[in-house]
Amino acid sequence: MRVLLTACATTVMLVAGPLTATAAAQGSRSPVGGVQLTAQSKVVAAGATPPAVQAGSYVVADLDTGTVLAAKAPHAKLRPASTLKTLTALVLLPRLDKGDVVVGSDRDAGIEGSKVGVYPGLRYSVDLLFQGMFLASGNDAVHALAEHDQGGTPATIDRMNKKATEIGALDTHVTDPTGLDADGQVSSAYDLALFAQAGLGRPDFAKYASTKYTNFPLAKAGTYQVANQNKLLFNYDGALGIKTGYTTLARNTFIGAARRDGHTLVVTLMNSPHGITEDATKLLDWSFSHYTALSSVGTLVKPATAAKTGPNVSKKSAAGTPLPKRTQAALIPALAVQSLALRIPSWAYAAPLFVLLALFLRRPRSLKIHNKRSRSRRH
């Protein structure tokens, strides 16, 4: 019995130990950007009270100074929807020649979600595909661009996770470069602000993000006009655009920026039921009008500082190279089991052993009667 009890205790320690240690390590790390930027569901601001908005999480920051002016659950890990395409662009823009020609494929055209209209067999410049990605949030354009790069989509995913780590976006994990609701795909309002800061530092990114209209080819002949989905561009003075997003699970997400009075401000919103443009407008108006009265509640970290915090390697390829398709398929059940295991309380792993112990100690009724009769005969 001692051996069995020892085995039970050892099992609990072996299973619960690593899980508890991991949780403690995550919980002990100070939030990137300052201790005030906690993941609690409350607004942190100084100097003035920000307007009420419907988004579950947001950040308002000065992109020039890196000062965070107000935030609500800035490090909450939420589904980013198509705002994740800003990180996709940060990876692909410096790698692809905008004059290259890409031939549309069946897989491009058959992708889920929003599309700009990439048809199999039609030829598109990389430049036009980036326009379709930014303006129409075309998942087909993203897929065509990712597949055009060396290593295809798996390598793009790996590079996106590494890029996120490089710029300090440690709340982000990428499993699909389009931003669709893929398992394990998360980001935060804080990280979206980092993507905006890094993106607007590139002239090509800034140009795509602020383009209002473009023309995209139809399947047989002619073109059609594509308008930027970011309505801030059309009705806000000084707007620089950037990116909108929506999926059923993520709900509305948003990255918008504007430049006024010598200040460039960004607002990021996640998990919003509706009214995303109105909320962004209210937060930007409030920030510009109260700018001199606001004191910092945090900072947008610089890439050089963020790089010291450690890697954020993609689960698609821990070695930094795309895995064979069969290997990737084999990983899916394992990741699902791992995810389930992390949701089970540590004490539950020892339950089967305690059940066996109880059965072992329980004496059958027939055995009890036999022993009683044997004692009676001896007496």
Q: Which residues are catalytic?
A: 82, 85, 137
For the CA atoms of 203, 208, 214, 218, what is the dihedral angle to 10 degrees?
120
Quick one: which of 163, 180, 89, 91 has its CA closest to 132? 89
3-state secondary structure of 284: helix
What are the residues whose beta carbons fall under 8 Å from the beta carbon of 340, sequence distance 6 or more? Answer: none
What tokens does 56 get?
């579950």
The type of residue at 292 is T
Contact (CB, 8 A) for 102 and 126: yes
3-state secondary structure of 163: helix
What is the Cα–Cα distance from 297 to 61, expressed in whole angstroms? 10
CA–chain centroid gap for 67, Å, is: 22
**Counting beta carbons within 10 angstroms of the beta carbon of residue 235, is it exposed (0 to 12), middle (13 to 18) or buried (19 or more)?**
exposed
3-state secondary structure of 327: helix
CA distances from residue 284 to 121, 129, 317 in whole angstroms, order as listed? 44, 30, 39
CA–chain centroid gap for 373, Å, is: 71
Quick one: which of 169, 189, 172, 198 has its CA closest to 63? 198
The type of residue at 158 is D
Say if residue 308 carries a ligand binding annotation. no
What tokens does 101 get?
């020609």
Kindly provide the b/e burial profile for residues 65-99, where b requires at least 16 CB atoms within 10 angstroms of the residue's own CB: ebbbbbbbbbbbbbbbbbbbbbbbbbbbbeebeee
Residues placed in the known binding site for substrate:
243
Residues at the binding site are 243
